[in-house]
Amino acid sequence: MLAVMASLLLWGCGVYSFTGASIPPRAQTISVDYFPNDAPLVQPTLSQQFTEELQNIFTRQTNLRMVEGIGHLHFEGSITDYRTEPIAITGDDRAAMNRLTVSVRVSFFNEFDDESEFQRSFSRYYDYDSNLSLAQIENDAIEVIVKELAEDIFNQAVVNW
């Protein structure tokens, strides 16, 4: 009984999930524009993967309904960087590790809470052994990076910590 009362109290305060998300009670919809890849080096599937993961994290972890156009909560932006570079150099001046980095610029709009809106960049990376080529690790690396970026954006937008 106590759990039911606590759930009702949290629902009334606008908390729509047990993930710590705090969403205005009147918010019912969310929209995520397609994030084009404006990075100097373009990975062909990255835009689609990132956009879908950002949509999915909100549909999985909230009661918001995904809509076309502009929702009560709205995201737009672009992928601004996609690069790989050496990060650990051995004694004979060879790279021991490489790093794949992806950066996105995100604008978040909240129809009911202007204070929570933001425009900022998010960046995540994946380190890999230099004996492996980017082609060998790219799919796994992108999957990890995209999930981490979506979590960071979700937390910034609706988990106020």
Instruction: Tell me the average pLDDT of the chain.
Output: 87
Confidence (pTM):
0.85
pLDDT over 90 (residue 10)? no
Across the range 124-143, mean pLDDT stands at 96
Query: What 3-state DSSP class applies to 146?
Result: helix
> For residue 2, what pLDDT band results from cuts at 50, 70 and 90?
very low
Q: Is residue 56 situated within a structural domain?
A: yes
Across the range 101-118, mean pLDDT stands at 95
* CA-based nearest residue to 157, from 101, 123, 113: 113
% of the chain exceeding 90 in pLDDT:
74
Res 160: pLDDT: 67
Is residue 125 within 8 A of residue 100, CB to CB? The reply is yes
Q: Provide the residue range defining the domain that includes 125.
A: 27-158
Q: Which helix or strand (DSSP H or E) is residue 34 part of? A: none
Q: Is residue 133 situated within a structural domain?
A: yes
The total number of structural domains in the chain stands at 1
CATH of residue 114's domain is: 3.30.160.150
- Residues 70-104 have pLDDT tens digits of 999 999 999 999 999 999 777 677 778 999 999 99
Res 118: pLDDT: 96
